[in-house]
Amino acid sequence: MIGSDSIDIVFQVAGIGVLVAAISAIFKSVDKDEFANWTTLAGVIIILFIIVNKVGELFAEIRQVFLIH
């Protein structure tokens, strides 16, 4: 059941990944390593938040399929 909505999420996560990588690279190039690490961590958390919803939906669907309520 892959609709255009779920493909959008893939692109969104990919975009965030690219931008976070770029930002952390910039921080690293100006010797601000701690900021670079924080940005990476923030990116991971943001993406996790997006994905957790979808994973929750997945589990709900699995339950429904096997009729575990």
What Cα–Cα distance (Å) separates residue 37 from each residue in 8, 12, 18, 23, 69?
27, 21, 15, 10, 42
Sole window of 23-31, 51-59, 60-68 interacting with another protein (rule: CB under 8 A): 23-31
What sign for the dihedral angle of Cα 41, 58, 56, 10? positive
* Nearest to another protein of 25, 60 (CB atom): 25
CB nearer another protein, residue 22 or residue 58: 22
Among 7, 10, 19, 41, binds another protein (CB under 8 A): 19
Interface of this chain with another protein, residues 45 to 64, rule: CB under 8 A: 46
The helix/strand/coil state of 11 is helix
Residue 30 is a binding residue for another protein (CB under 8 A): yes
